[in-house]
């Protein structure tokens, strides 16, 4: 089995007193406090390179930490090794007759799974095995009344992209704390098209990746087609036939791949009754790809639409339908747009790849995928200030956990107050 040192657990009587040494005297950074109710401990993590020192204070007299301290006083309590598959590791140890404290995984901090090996089997050291939190997410349809409009956050399932590419010039030690990567360095993302229902009809803004990908791409992008757009539409009481308009923010496969489908070996529009609304200059770029963007613009996603006569092109920033307005940001692609939803005095903004997830709130956290990152930066700096001041409700198309929320700023730190 492969295992890496995750952390060293240190039993302390009083975390605040322990911090006088680790934080103040040594000058180390300390992470926010965390409670693990199942273990009846309070923890503070102190990063020291890869592994961390975990300061543990008992929150109840029957906690293992309290028992340890009453017998031996404060000190090193356990060493934690991280494994890929905890169940497999426990089975292997059981086969070899190793004495375990826990023969079954139990819930640990931050959604992880843990199990202890008995110290008698490990030269007097209490060894904890840990498996990271499962990165897979359950996506749900979320609804919201917004002035005269009904908004529904749909989804086309989760997918994964390279963590380095998602965070551009930001070093991994900074982004991996917010978005832990899997063993292939990919981070968990989602595709969340937005459905707008109004008196003029139903519009879907973007429509996910669809089902045309080859098995190799499905594997590379970690697509899970068991909870895709058809399921989300069904959960909302709708079908593909319910859609009157499909608006493209840009024509990358993870945004508009779902616009077409294969039926009886033939490519055809996925939404049989819909008009497809596409910015003409984006169409030009998508149908004339170059080496840098060819892997993102898959011609079968959109070329058949024009051939079938179902596309309505538009040229400029404009109100597409009452309450739905587009604005070109550039940056990610030359014609990348965000979508303003305006009704009843409120403003919501579908920010697409300008701020793909809640981990991208800091101005320079710009994706390496962007063709014109300085344009992204310039637009984003201005936009986020405005979004905070005017309290725009932000829809995050790629965030696996937060579909929508308000960007707030306190003491120079940005965060999202989740709404959906």
Task: Kindly calculate the radius of gyration of the chain based on its CA atoms and give it in whole angstroms.
Answer: 25
Distance of closest approach, residue 281 Cβ to Zn ion, in angstroms? 18
Shortest CB 175 distance to Zn ion, Å: 17
Q: Which is nearer to Zn ion, 93 or 228 (CB)?
A: 228
Least distance (Å) between residue 134 CB and Zn ion:
23
- What is the contact surface with Zn ion in residues (CB under 5 A)? 254, 353
Return the number of the residue (18 or 248) whose C-beta is nearest Zn ion.
248
Q: Which is nearer to Zn ion, 249 or 260 (CB)?
A: 249
- Considering the complex, what minimum distance in angstroms separates the CB of residue 336 from Zn ion? 9
- Measured from the CB atom, the residue of 208 and 304 that comes closer to Zn ion is 208
Q: How far is CA 239 from CA 233, 235, 243, 247, 356, in A?
A: 6, 9, 8, 17, 27
SS (H, E, C) the chain: CCCEEEEEEEECCCHHHHHHHHHHHCCCCCCCCEEEHHHCEEEEEEECCCCEEEEEEECCCCCHHHHHHHHHCCEEEEEEEECCCHHHHHHHHHHCCCCECCCCCEECHHHCEEEEECHHHCCCCCEEEEECCCCCCCCCCEEEEECCEEEEECCCCEEEEEHHHHHCCCCHHHHHHHCCCCCCCEEEEECCCEEEEECCEEEEECCECCCCCCHHHHHHCCCCHHHCHHHHHHHCCCCHHHCCEEECCCCCHHHHHHHEEEECCEEEECCCCCEEEEEHHHHHHHHCCCCCCCCCCCHHHCHHHHHCCCEEEECCCCEEECCEEEEECCCCCCCCEEEEEEECCEEEEECCCCCCCHHHCCCCCCCCCCCCHHHHHHHHHHHHHHHHHCCCEEECCCCCCCCEEEEEEECCEEEEEECC
Distance between CA atoms of residues 402 and 420, nearest Å: 6
For Zn ion, which is the closer residue by CB, 128 or 353? 353
Minimum distance from residue 275 beta carbon to Zn ion (Å): 23
- Of the pair 30, 251, the CB lying nearest Zn ion is at 251
Q: How far is the CB of 352 from Zn ion (least distance, A)?
A: 7
Q: Which is nearer to Zn ion, 39 or 254 (CB)?
A: 254
In angstroms, what is the minimal distance from the CB of 384 to Zn ion? 18
- Nearest approach in angstroms of CB 338 to Zn ion is 12
Q: Which is nearer to Zn ion, 211 or 353 (CB)?
A: 353
Least distance CB 239 / Zn ion (angstroms): 25
User: Phi/psi at 326 (nearest 5 deg)?
Assistant: -105, 150
Nearer to Zn ion, 353 or 399 (CB): 353
Min CB(255)–Zn ion separation in Å:
6
Q: Name which of 54 and 254 has its Cβ closer to Zn ion.
A: 254
Residue nearest to Zn ion (CB): 353
**Is residue 108 exposed (0-12), middle (13-18) or buried (19+ Cβ within 10 Å)?**
buried
């Amino acid at each position: 089995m492969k295992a890496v040192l995750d952390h060293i657990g240190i039993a302390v009587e009083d975390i605040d007193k322990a911090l006088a040494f680790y934080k103040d005297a040594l000058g180390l950074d300390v992470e926010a406090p965390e409670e693990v109710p199942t273990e009846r401990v309070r923890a503070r993590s102190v990063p020291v390179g890869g592994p961390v020192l975990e300061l543990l204070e008992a929150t109840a007299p029957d906690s293992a930490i309290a028992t340890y301290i009453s017998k031996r006083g404060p000190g090193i309590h356990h060493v934690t090794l991280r494994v890929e598959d905890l169940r497999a590791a426990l089975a292997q140890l059981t086969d070899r007759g190793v004495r375990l404290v826990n023969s079954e995984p139990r819930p640990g901090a931050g959604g992880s799974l843990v199990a202890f090996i008995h110290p008698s089997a490990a030269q007097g050291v209490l060894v904890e095995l840990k498996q990271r939190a499962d990165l897979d997410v359950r996506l749900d349809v979320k609804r919201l009344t917004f002035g005269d409009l009904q908004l529904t956050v749909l989804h086309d399932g989760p997918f994964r992209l390279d963590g380095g590419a998602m965070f551009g010039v930001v070093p991994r030690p900074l982004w991996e704390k917010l978005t832990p990567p899997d063993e292939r360095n990919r981070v968990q993302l989602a595709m969340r098209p937005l459905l707008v229902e109004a008196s003029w009809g139903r519009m879907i803004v973007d429509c996910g990746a669809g089902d045309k990908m080859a098995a190799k791409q499905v594997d590379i992008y970690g697509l899970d087609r068991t909870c895709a757009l058809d399921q989300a539409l069904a959960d909302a009481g709708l079908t593909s036939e319910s859609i009157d308009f499909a608006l493209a923010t840009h024509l990358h496969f993870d945004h508009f791949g779902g616009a077409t489908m294969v039926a009886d070996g033939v490519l055809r529009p996925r939404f049989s009754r819909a008009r497809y609304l596409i910015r003409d200059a984006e169409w030009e770029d998508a149908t004339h790809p170059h080496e840098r963007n060819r892997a993102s613009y898959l011609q079968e996603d959109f070329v058949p639409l024009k051939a079938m006569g179902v596309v309505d092109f538009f040229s400029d920033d404009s109100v597409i339908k009452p309450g739905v307005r587009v604005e070109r940001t550039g940056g990610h692609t030359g014609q990348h747009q965000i979508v303003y939803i305006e009704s009843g005095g409120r403003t919501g903004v579908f920010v697409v790849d300008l701020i793909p997830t809640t981990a991208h709130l800091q101005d320079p956290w710009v994706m390496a995928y962007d063709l014109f990152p300085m344009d992204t930066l310039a637009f984003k700096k201005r936009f986020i200030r405005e979004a905070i001041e005017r309290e725009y409700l932000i829809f995050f198309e790629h965030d696996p956990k937060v579909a929508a929320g308000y960007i707030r700023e306190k003491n120079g730190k940005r965060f999202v107050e989740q709404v959906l």
